[in-house]
Amino acid sequence: MYQIKGKEYPCCTSVTMGIIGGKWKTVILFYLIEGPLRYSELRKKMIGVTERTLSLQLRQLEEDGVVTRTVFTSKPPLRVEYALTDFGRTLIPLLQSIADWGDFVVENYSD
Protein backbone atom coordinates (compact mmCIF):
# COMPACT_ATOMS: atom_id res chain seq x y z
CA MET A 1 0.00 0.00 0.00
CA TYR A 2 1.29 3.48 -0.91
CA GLN A 3 0.37 6.70 0.85
CA ILE A 4 0.82 10.08 -0.83
CA LYS A 5 -0.47 13.31 0.73
CA GLY A 6 -2.91 11.43 2.95
CA LYS A 7 -4.36 9.31 0.13
CA GLU A 8 -3.83 5.55 -0.03
CA TYR A 9 -3.11 3.69 -3.25
CA PRO A 10 -2.95 -0.09 -3.74
CA CYS A 11 -0.05 0.00 -6.25
CA CYS A 12 2.33 2.36 -8.01
CA THR A 13 0.18 2.58 -11.16
CA SER A 14 -2.77 3.74 -9.08
CA VAL A 15 -0.57 6.58 -7.73
CA THR A 16 0.03 7.75 -11.30
CA MET A 17 -3.61 7.40 -12.32
CA GLY A 18 -4.72 9.11 -9.11
CA ILE A 19 -2.74 12.17 -10.15
CA ILE A 20 -3.27 12.25 -13.94
CA GLY A 21 -6.33 10.03 -14.37
CA GLY A 22 -9.58 11.33 -15.70
CA LYS A 23 -10.79 12.47 -19.07
CA TRP A 24 -9.25 15.95 -19.06
CA LYS A 25 -6.17 15.99 -16.81
CA THR A 26 -3.77 14.58 -19.39
CA VAL A 27 -5.17 16.98 -21.99
CA ILE A 28 -4.57 19.95 -19.67
CA LEU A 29 -1.04 18.76 -18.90
CA PHE A 30 -0.28 18.11 -22.58
CA TYR A 31 -1.21 21.70 -23.49
CA LEU A 32 0.85 23.09 -20.62
CA ILE A 33 4.02 21.34 -21.87
CA GLU A 34 4.57 24.24 -24.29
CA GLY A 35 4.36 26.81 -21.49
CA PRO A 36 1.95 28.69 -19.25
CA LEU A 37 -1.58 29.30 -20.48
CA ARG A 38 -4.41 31.46 -19.25
CA TYR A 39 -7.66 29.78 -18.25
CA SER A 40 -9.43 31.17 -21.34
CA GLU A 41 -6.66 29.85 -23.62
CA LEU A 42 -6.97 26.36 -22.13
CA ARG A 43 -10.75 26.51 -22.48
CA LYS A 44 -10.49 27.40 -26.20
CA LYS A 45 -8.11 24.50 -26.87
CA MET A 46 -10.26 21.98 -25.01
CA ILE A 47 -13.44 21.74 -27.03
CA GLY A 48 -16.13 19.86 -25.14
CA VAL A 49 -14.96 20.48 -21.58
CA THR A 50 -17.33 22.39 -19.33
CA GLU A 51 -16.09 25.35 -17.28
CA ARG A 52 -16.94 23.50 -14.06
CA THR A 53 -15.00 20.39 -15.08
CA LEU A 54 -11.98 22.39 -16.24
CA SER A 55 -11.94 24.35 -12.98
CA LEU A 56 -12.22 21.16 -10.88
CA GLN A 57 -9.49 19.35 -12.81
CA LEU A 58 -7.15 22.35 -12.58
CA ARG A 59 -7.81 22.62 -8.84
CA GLN A 60 -7.03 18.91 -8.36
CA LEU A 61 -3.81 19.20 -10.38
CA GLU A 62 -2.85 22.22 -8.28
CA GLU A 63 -3.59 20.35 -5.02
CA ASP A 64 -1.38 17.47 -6.22
CA GLY A 65 1.47 19.90 -6.91
CA VAL A 66 1.53 19.28 -10.67
CA VAL A 67 0.27 22.71 -11.77
CA THR A 68 0.70 26.22 -10.40
CA ARG A 69 -1.94 28.92 -10.55
CA THR A 70 -0.64 32.48 -10.74
CA VAL A 71 -2.98 35.45 -10.41
CA PHE A 72 -1.84 38.73 -11.97
CA THR A 73 -3.55 41.72 -10.39
CA SER A 74 -1.22 44.53 -11.46
CA LYS A 75 -3.66 45.91 -14.01
CA PRO A 76 -7.27 45.09 -14.84
CA PRO A 77 -8.65 42.78 -15.98
CA LEU A 78 -7.58 40.07 -13.54
CA ARG A 79 -5.46 37.43 -15.30
CA VAL A 80 -4.94 33.85 -14.12
CA GLU A 81 -2.24 31.67 -15.64
CA TYR A 82 -1.52 27.96 -15.21
CA ALA A 83 1.86 26.28 -15.64
CA LEU A 84 3.55 22.99 -14.89
CA THR A 85 5.57 22.85 -11.67
CA ASP A 86 8.99 21.19 -11.58
CA PHE A 87 7.18 18.10 -10.31
CA GLY A 88 4.66 18.42 -13.16
CA ARG A 89 7.47 18.62 -15.72
CA THR A 90 8.60 15.15 -14.64
CA LEU A 91 5.41 13.94 -16.37
CA ILE A 92 6.46 15.24 -19.80
CA PRO A 93 8.07 11.96 -21.01
CA LEU A 94 4.99 10.03 -19.87
CA LEU A 95 2.60 12.50 -21.54
CA GLN A 96 4.65 12.40 -24.74
CA SER A 97 4.52 8.59 -24.74
CA ILE A 98 0.75 8.68 -24.28
CA ALA A 99 0.45 11.15 -27.18
CA ASP A 100 2.74 9.06 -29.40
CA TRP A 101 0.71 5.93 -28.69
CA GLY A 102 -2.50 7.84 -29.51
CA ASP A 103 -0.98 8.92 -32.85
CA PHE A 104 -0.01 5.29 -33.54
CA VAL A 105 -3.57 4.12 -32.88
CA VAL A 106 -5.05 6.83 -35.13
CA GLU A 107 -2.63 6.01 -37.96
CA ASN A 108 -3.03 2.24 -37.77
CA TYR A 109 -6.50 1.50 -36.43
CA SER A 110 -8.83 4.31 -37.41
CA ASP A 111 -11.66 3.68 -39.84
Range of the domain at 83: 23-100
Residue 12 lies in a domain: no
Residue type, 39: Y
The number of folded domains in the chain is 1
Residue 1 lies in a domain: no
| pLDDT digits 0-9 by tens, 75-111 | 888 889 999 999 999 999 999 999 999 999 999 998 8
Residue 18 lies in a domain: no
Q: What are the C-alpha distances in Å from 76 to residues 36, 39, 73, 79, 80?
A: 19, 16, 7, 8, 11
Residue 53 lies in a domain: yes
Residue 62: is its pLDDT beyond 90?
yes
Rounded Cα distance, 9 and 72, in Å: 36
| pLDDT digits 0-9 by tens, 29-55 | 999 999 999 999 999 999 999 999 999
Vertex 37 angle, CA 6 and 32, to 5°:
60
Residue 4 lies in a domain: no
- The CATH code of the domain that includes 48 is 1.10.10.10
